[in-house]
Structure 1
């Protein structure tokens, strides 16, 4: 029987993925189930049952961390800003802890990416890491010395809901965002943002992978769309350099697989940073789609009995 395991849960809009890890971060097992969309009690049960199934198969109980598409406000214990809207206003962390009869720790999924990659991923050894998720939407998270920085309002890393910097007249005021404002970074540097921008420029409705494929075949319109995306990513990261000046950026999510981002964005970033070129590396997440669930497992420190959480 193993001494101890860590369990990480990634709560997505369509699926719940749980993975078990040993103390060194080696994956032991995984389970994936459908998310009970719109069903809060069902979501609590699905998360708890997934964690318990992993424990049963391992023959030992473990610590449980959950990455969520929102944030838990520490002063109230309630979830806010979740695009899985049935979680908003609910005491998710408390209810999970009560259901499992032990403490369960929750953090924003982008923060989980940041902590995973800072501890044993692409940014291992960097003190301050900003994790960027470029997927259907766009998110960010901050890891400082291997711990998540979410802030008293749970808004640390929510850079996607700042306005796109240095907007051109053609970009102003920008598309409407679900947050109620216009021109948010998330609406520009995401998979859906790429698709919307391409359709607006060409009149053609294509998916992100189709746009990338066309660009690789020499299509000028697709190439122009990807160049606009890269320039907007660079502008957005420049704002973070000016405020946080992290030791490293790590990019995850579907768009992180675009190798050209790591060639072109650093050069463009240097055009937008105060005082000229910067040395901040822009790295691709080593753990890929597993970064979030790994980071959730790492919300507990090595000493599982430690009272200070990683959030």
Structure 2
């Protein structure tokens, strides 16, 4: 029996909902601002789901992507950079509000699942999905199945150390997770902006344009960023050797990454030849919500 699948992408500033029809086609999409408080967030999600079901005359399964994970040890949200979620039984609270089971997964895992299913990673056996945005995350999909691990941290490469650090990269920047030198503090968008323009900078989107116009500081910053990102992905290749790597998040729009990373990664990876495709995502910022819907099977 086929059914409609509802996906929700819960972000720090917005909540997005989408509905996939039984054939996989998208038939509904809506965005609203994320409330500041936890109870209001749960209530908003419930309202969005009931509202779209009423409009469409359907009842669907519900999957939610969050910027953290549900701890299998405690049942509470952990590792969420949207700190209002941490320490709550989020899946149970939403389930109670809706009167049905819901599935909750890390947003980077949702991205990877979406892109592996019918995005840039479709047709590849092992896909590593990368989020390069405000933070840095990742997800692993093998033969269409999401790999979570017993602690639900599979793919969390953003909180591994920058490989082969040198010069001013040592001892590393402090990270919100409590460690020093995490990849996220070097390759996420705000980190790139700060590397170029100093403390207080947070938007790196214009740096390639500035570099192309002859700004040497911007050119140097994006070159350092590409090299650091290549080192991080070389370790992923050494450990996982995926069939494809798909980039997502705001920085995935930087065209130079798709020429520079294939050139730089082989100098660090442990193989005579490295031909891993570095692919731009197909679904853009819609991948998270599409992947959340796909936490439930089509039939």
> What's the CA shift for 1:212?
2.2
Per the alignment, residue 272 of structure 2 pairs with: 276
- Match for residue 11 of structure 2? 12
2:33 maps to what in 1? 34
1:138-176 Cα deviation digits (max 9, x unpaired): 111111221221111111111100110000122111111
Which range moves more in the overlay, 205-214 or 292-301?
205-214
Q: Which residue of 2 aligns with 1:84?
A: 82
Does structure 2 retain, via aligned residues, the 8 Å contact 1:271–1:277? no
2:229 corresponding residue in structure 1: 233
Corresponding position of 2:251:
255
* 8 Å contact from structure 1 (residues 251, 284) kept in 2: yes
Instruction: Name the residue aligned to 1:290.
Output: 286
For residue 96 of structure 2, the aligned residue among 88, 95, 98 is: 98
**Residue aligned with 2:290, SS:** helix
SS at match of 1:170: helix
- State the number of aligned residues: 298
User: Bigger CA drift: 293-302 or 74-83?
Assistant: 74-83
User: Is the contact made by 2:46 and 2:98 (CA closer than 8 Å) also made in structure 1?
Assistant: yes
Supply the distance in 1 between the matched residues of 2:200 and 2:224 (Cα, whole angstroms). Answer: 17
For each residue in 1:172-197, what CA deviation from the matched residue of structure 2 results, as whole angstroms up to 9, or x when unmatched?
Answer: 11111111111100010111011111
Alpha carbons of 1:64 and 1:204: their partners in 2 closer, same or farther (altered >3 Å)? Answer: closer
CA–CA separation in structure 1 for the residues paired with 2:64 and 2:290: 10
Q: Which residue of 2 aligns with 1:307?
A: none
Partner of 2:184: 186
How high is the TM-score relative to the length of structure 1?
Answer: 0.92
Out of 110, 114, 117, which is 1:116 matched to?
114
Q: Contact 2:205/2:251 (CA < 8 Å) preserved in 1?
A: no
Gap runs ≥5 in structure 2: none
* RMSD (Å) for aligned C-alpha atoms: 1.5
- Residue aligned with 1:290, SS: helix
Alignment of 1:184-223 (within 5 A): 184-200=182-198, 205=201, 207-223=203-219
How far did residue 261 of structure 1 move?
0.4
Instruction: State the Cα distance separating 1:28 from its structure 2 match.
Output: 0.6
Measured against aligned partners, the alpha-carbon deviations of 1:267-311 in whole angstroms (never above 9, x if no partner) come to 1001101123212111111000000000000000122xxxxxxxx
How far apart are residue 126 of structure 1 and its match?
1.1
Write the distance in 1 (CA, Å) between the matches of 2:202 and 2:5: 41
**Aligned equivalents of 1:194, 1:82: Cα separation in 2:** 21
Q: Hey, what does 2:48 align to over in structure 1? A: 50
Post-superposition offset of 1:206: 7.4
Query: Structure 1 residues 206 and 89 mapped into 2: Cα distance closer, same or farther (>3 Å)?
Result: closer
> In structure 1, how many angstroms separate the alpha carbons of the residues matched to 2:23 and 2:283?
15
Q: 5+ unaligned residues in a row in structure 1: which ranges?
A: 304-311
- SS of the residue 1:302 aligns to: coil
Cα separation, 2, equivalents of 1:275 and 1:96: 47
Runs of 4 or more off by more than 6 Å in structure 1? none
1:243 corresponds in structure 2 to: 239
* 1:204 shift after superposition: 9.7
TM-score (norm 2): 0.96
Alignment partners' CA distance in 1, 2:200 and 2:149: 42
Query: Structure 1 pair 77/205, CA: closer, same or farther in 2 (3 Å)?
Result: closer
Q: Distance in 1 between matches of 2:39 and 2:202?
A: 37
